[in-house]
Amino acid sequence: MTTIRAIRGMNDILPDESDRWQYLERTVAEVLASYGYGEIRLPIVEQTALFRRSIGEVTDIVEKEMYSFDDRNGESLTLRPEGTAGCVRAAIQHSLLGTVQRLWYSGPMFRYERPQKGRQRQFHQIGVEVFGVATPEIDAELILMTARLWRELGIDGDVALQLNSIGSVSDRQAYRAALVNYLSGHLDALDEDSQRRLHTNPLRILDSKDPGTRAVLQQAPLLSDYLDEESRADFARVCELLDAASVPYVINTALVRGLDYYNKTVFEWVTDRLGAQGTVCAGGRYDGLVQQLGGKPVPGIGFAMGKERLVLMLEALQAAPLPAAPADVYVVNSGGSAECAAFAALESLRSALPGLRIVQHAGGGSFRSQMKKADKSGARWALIWGDDEVASASVTVKPLREQGEEQVTLPLAEVAAFLQRRRTPDTTTQGN
């Protein structure tokens, strides 16, 4: 019989990996809460029309990468390829846009592309969206918030901020015409993808990594030369606020977004620790998207960060805490009445010491074999129930890792206090 395996590019996250994921998710949630952002939980499946309207029909995501299917009613549905469109849809549907909204979400996204390090077909993102603030101060807030997150994670020395303004829709229309005119005169030097994009999404050519295309772009018109006064002033204000907060950045005039609803500030945090997949967080202002999806004109801005890439960074930089042992306490018993006594006592112990990881031996076996498993578990303490302990309403506490500690037998009522005095400060937060 053929063994069933996970779908290519959709990976399992095993227990010895998930500690880093939990550390990342916990840290992100704490930082976002400190800035007043509230979590919104969104469906994984949306109507296909949502992404066609937001991302656009002539994009690689819609044309090649979305997982779309017809349900039993013949309605076209799609596994979400990104989170912003769904968040905007929810904000419109639930009438959230009458006041300023600071929102964040987390979860899996899906795109059919070639799996590689840091890029999978099922990948996980944390996204942040703000609705209702048109001024550049909120642009700076998002960037400062990500900078704080990198510091909290201990990776701030290995990420760099790139910043640009892509102006208004009319700015980009004028620039697009100039760019197409210039590139049309160098068509043979462009790579195949850039030739295809020239008349569908020419701004994406600025992202090309092809050496020949990069050489042509050296003399291309600059988008910054086409910005109106409002866009220039807003971008200058963002830079001023970042300078005041001592956040370093590089202005990258090639940093753009290929979708028409984006405008003004765009930014990316990049690293050289992950090879080709160097972007760990990307964001920008999208003041036209809410109206494009059927709402009233409401300004918006947001960013998304890839969990896989951040976890890889934490691993490479050894920035996350070491994985915890599965147990703090391993329970050994002689079966029968001793096992019953242990079950009852342990429920009280779990109530008295929330967060203490207690593993009770299951499957029988001699004391000797159980103690071997207790030692292998990584637990600091073994709790032992035998006939003597049952008769005296006590438990034997055996240290497995502690230097200078002796095995003791304690009344059941004293075990919780004994273990509490010996818990490390981090034990109370493990697994939360």
Triad 60, 64, 70: Cα angle to 5°: 125
Beta strands 76-79 and 381-385, pairing class: unpaired
329-333 sheet: strands from edge to edge = 358-360, 329-333, 381-385, 394-399, 408-411
Say what the pLDDT of residue 429 is.
38
Say how far apart CA 100 and CA 78 lie, in whole Å. 29
Backbone angles phi, psi at 278, to 5 degrees: -90, -10
Say what the pLDDT of residue 396 is.
96
Triad 211, 217, 222: Cα angle to 5°: 150
Contact 31, 149 (CB under 8 A): yes
Residue 101 confidence (pLDDT) above 50: yes
Q: 3-class DSSP state for residue 287?
A: coil
Q: What is the pLDDT of residues 105-145, one digit of tens each?
A: 999 999 998 888 878 999 999 999 999 999 999 999 999 99
Q: What is the pLDDT of residues 46-76, one digit of tens each?
A: 999 999 999 877 677 887 899 999 999 999 9
CB atoms under 10 Å from CB of 330, counted, come to 28
Mean pLDDT of 210-236: 93
Q: 3-class DSSP state for residue 173?
A: helix
Q: Determine the distance from the C-alpha atom of residue 248 to the mean position of all C-alpha atoms in its chain, rounded to a whole number.
A: 23
DSSP 176-212: HHHHHHHHHTTGGGS-HHHHHHTTT-GGGGGG---HH
Q: Do domains 15-167+227-316 and 329-428 have the same CATH topology?
A: no
> What topology does CATH give the domain 15-167+227-316?
BirA Bifunctional Protein; domain 2 (3.30.930)
Q: 3-class DSSP state for residue 161?
A: strand
Residues sharing a CB contact under 8 Å with residue 394, sequence separation 6 or more, in sequence order: 388, 409, 410, 411, 412
SS (H, E, C) 384-401: EECHHHHHHCEEEEEECC
Say what the pLDDT of residue 375 is.
92
Mean pLDDT of 301-310: 96
Say how far apart CA 104 and CA 40 lie, in whole Å. 6
Q: Which residue's structure tokens are 């578990």?
A: 377
Say what the pLDDT of residue 184 is.
94
Say how far apart CA 27 and CA 313 lie, in whole Å. 15
Say how far apart CA 378 and CA 360 lie, in whole Å. 13
Mean pLDDT of 32-46: 98
Say what the pLDDT of residue 427 is.
40
Question: Looking at the domain covering 329-428, what would its CATH class be?
Answer: alpha beta
Q: What is the pLDDT of residues 412-432, one digit of tens each?
A: 999 999 999 987 544 433 333
Residue ranges of the domains in the chain? Answer: 15-167+227-316, 329-428
Say how far apart CA 302 and CA 289 lie, in whole Å. 12
Q: What is the pLDDT of residues 315-369, one digit of tens each?
A: 999 998 877 778 899 999 988 899 999 999 999 999 999 989 999 999 889 999 9
